[in-house]
Amino acid sequence: LDLIRGAPNADGGALAPIQDYLNEIHARVSKIEGGAPADYIPELGKVDPTLFGIAIATVDGQLYTVGDARVPFTIQSVSKPFMYGYALQHHGRPRVLQKVGVEPTGEAFNSIVLDEAANRPFNPMVNAGAIAVAEMMQGDTLKQRTNNMLELFSSLAARKIDIDEAVYKSELATGHRNRAIAYMMLNTAMIEHDPEEVLELYFRQCALSVTACDLAVMAATLANDGTNPVTDHKIFDTQYVRDVLTVMNSCGMYDYAGEWAYEVGMPAKSGVSGCIIAAIPGQIGICVYAPPIDSQGNSVRGIAVCQDMSREFQLHSF
């Protein structure tokens, strides 16, 4: 873990140990303004826009934090790669690929578009794909499926995870665009059950209450080949971790995914609550939380931190 021990930087000088670096980048990026908290889910608009936390979890289970790393927020779209991993783990690739592709859209996260050739949603990171994936949660009743979903995320975070009821109800009451997407997929048989029930699970999944520390541990589980570094619990097989990281790499940042892959070069996922995770296989999981987001739905300060880390520690994949 060169990053933690203090590797030489590009100019041959020694880099500061990770905690010093985190303190420094937090102070520097705190000065960056711009963006605004999402408010299309009314409850999200009530957040304190100055919150800003960073957490890094290593694959050997150490945690480094700065700022508001233990303040709870809702996970939103950062839930999507983990639900995709679950679907692959429990249904296998062929079944999952029938319901959702792996092609980037180059469009917004909430675009109402299916791949016309296959009638499928393009990928599991956009809302359409994630709603199709949510239907694959196992359990005979909505209650059982909700409990299985909570169990999945609790095992990923290494602590008991709950739902933020206020945010859940806020999206349930206003998420008509997602409703349109779900009914469109009922029409093409990508969804086979009552769309309202599928959406209830999807909205609950997005309203899971987590902290930057939790998401860093979850990202580190992906970096650690599917084994949670805190509990040593194996959650995803190697082959499915590869699938999850691949779609994060190509689709995790929506219509910014190409530029992100070019410049930052780490598999990542953002959520409209203002969180971004990134995973560096064999090394670390990163989470940045700062609510103001840009027009593509990505945290402004989150992007700035990841850009800097990628440059400073040479974390670009290629």
* Residues acting as catalytic residues: 77, 80, 202, 254, 272
What gap in Å lies between CA 139 and CA 276, rounded to an integer? Answer: 30
77 near ligand DON (CB under 6 A): yes
Query: Is 262 among the annotated ligand-binding positions?
Result: no
Annotated binding residue 299: no
**d(C-alpha 178, C-alpha 181), whole Å:** 5
Q: Shortest gap between Cβ of 272 and ligand DON (angstroms)?
A: 4
Residue nearest to ligand DON (CB): 77
Q: Which is nearer to ligand DON, 15 or 206 (CB)?
A: 206
When asked if residue 277 is in the footprint of ligand DON (CB under 6 A), the reply is no
Q: Is the sign of the CA dihedral 291, 230, 15, 259 positive or negative?
A: negative
110 touching ligand DON, by CB under 6 A: yes
- Kindly state whether residue 299 participates in binding ligand DON, applying the rule CB under 6 A: no
Q: Print the binding letters for residues 199-238 with ligand DON: x by CB under 6 A, - otherwise.
A: -------x--------------------------------
77 is in an annotated binding site: yes
Does the annotation list 171 as a binding residue? yes
How far, rounded to the nearest angstrom, does the alpha carbon of residue 1 sit from its chain's CA centroid?
23
Query: What residues numbered 119-148 form the site for ligand DON, per CB under 6 A?
Result: 127
Binding-site residues for substrate sit at 77, 127, 171, 178, 202, 254, 272
Residues that bind ligand DON (CB under 6 A): 76-77, 109-110, 127, 171, 178, 206, 270-272, 297
